[in-house]
Amino acid sequence: MRYILLLLTPLLLFSKVHYAKVEPLESITLKSAVSAQVIVAKIDLEGKRVHSSTIIKLDEKLDKVKLSSSRASLKLIKSMITTNRKILSALKESLDRQEEYYSRISNIVSASKSQKDNAFYTFTNTKTQYFSTKEKIDSLKKQKLDLEFEIARLKDSISKKTITIHNKFLNHLLVHKGDFVNMGTPLAELKDLTSAKLVLFLESEELKDIKKKTIYINDKATRYKVSKIWAVTDKKFISSYRTEIIIKNPKESFSKLLKVELK
């Protein structure tokens, strides 16, 4: 019996009991991407796990009016481009004929000067109309691109005015209905509930071969491994190293203390 006790003594010396609080893996501060007035702020969800819900909604009425107007303008611009392309096609046909006629009459010795002048003026006027219409089409294309960009910007702005969260803990709602927020204003503080972490402060002796050790939580062996070890000692616990263990989909309540051993 004495022989067995001697074998277990080294293991017991290096298997210290730790207690770690279950903490959310990540804390998130949501900030406004636009400037607008808050029209919905679900303060009643504060301090709760939110599976799927809109927590904040910003005023989007003006954006929707602008979006409707821009879409109508885009439709009109597209119609104008189509019409002017037809005009350009007709002008090209007329220009080719006018050029051919002017070239032919210019070489006819019997043709009068006024005939030649009229052919030249008709040809140059048609040419001017052709290039003017072509320039108009290019201008309309530029307006089309500007409107498409404006529509995309408005759709993006509208999408950012509805703040919906999924499977997050709403720690603090930082705005209320009626508040006006600017771009960058903090809106809410969230905690990610999909994973959690246990923070331990281990001495250098406990870190030896730590990757090979089994982690026991509440006296039960787990498959978890230490995911992160700080390279320097902690400012508060000056002889210990901060260590984190990631727990996927924790069933335990956050802030609950768990017994942790590494053997």
Q: Which residue is associated with the tokens 């809410």?
A: 188
- Supply 107's token pair: 């070489």
Task: Report how far residue 53's alpha carbon sits from residue 164's, in angstroms, rounded to the nearest whole number.
Answer: 5
Whether the Cβ atoms of residue 32 and residue 185 lie closer than 8 Å to each other: yes
| Interacting residues of 146 by C-beta distance below 8 A, sequence separation 6+ | none
Question: Under DSSP, is residue 42 helix (H, G, I), strand (E, B) or coil?
Answer: coil
- Adjacent-strand bridge partners of 53: 165
pTM, 2 dp: 0.71
Residue 86, amino acid:
K
- Written as one letter, the residue type at 198 is L
Please, is 7 exposed, middle or buried when counting C-beta atoms within 10 Å of its C-beta (0-12, 13-18, 19+)? exposed
SS3 of 55-94: the string is EEEECCHHHHHHHHHHHHHHHHHHHHHHHHHHHHHHHHHH
* Cα separation, 256 vs 247, whole angstroms: 13
**What is the Cα 176 distance to its own chain's centre?**
24
pLDDT digits (tens, 9 = 90+) for 108-132: 877 788 888 888 899 899 999 999 9
Average pLDDT across the chain, whole number:
87
Q: What is the pLDDT of residues 222-255, one digit of tens each?
A: 888 888 888 887 777 778 888 888 887 666 666 7
Query: Rounded to an integer, what distance in angstroms lies between the CA atom of residue 94 and that of residue 86?
Result: 13
2 pLDDT above the threshold of 50: no
CATH number at 16-59+165-262: 2.40.50.100
SS3 165: strand
User: In this predicted structure, which of 35-39, 42-46, 118-122 has the lowest mean pLDDT?
Assistant: 118-122
How many other CB atoms sit within 10 Å of the CB of residue 213? 17
Determine contact, residues 123/165, Cβ cutoff 8 Å: no
**So what's the pLDDT on residue 12?**
41
What string of DSSP letters covers 98-154? HHHHHHHHHT-TTS-HHHHHHHHHHHHHHHHHHHHHHHHHHHHHHHHHHHHHHHHHH
Residue 1 has pLDDT above 50, yes or no: no
Contact 50, 183 (CB under 8 A): no
pLDDT at 251: 66
CA of 226: how far to CAs of 67, 88, 263, in Å?
A: 51, 72, 12
What average pLDDT does the segment 77-97 reach?
Answer: 95
The better pLDDT of the pair 2, 226 is held by: 226
Decide: helix, strand or coil at residue 252: coil
pLDDT at 67 exceeding the cut of 70 = yes
Q: With 60 as the cut, is the pLDDT of residue 4 above it?
A: no
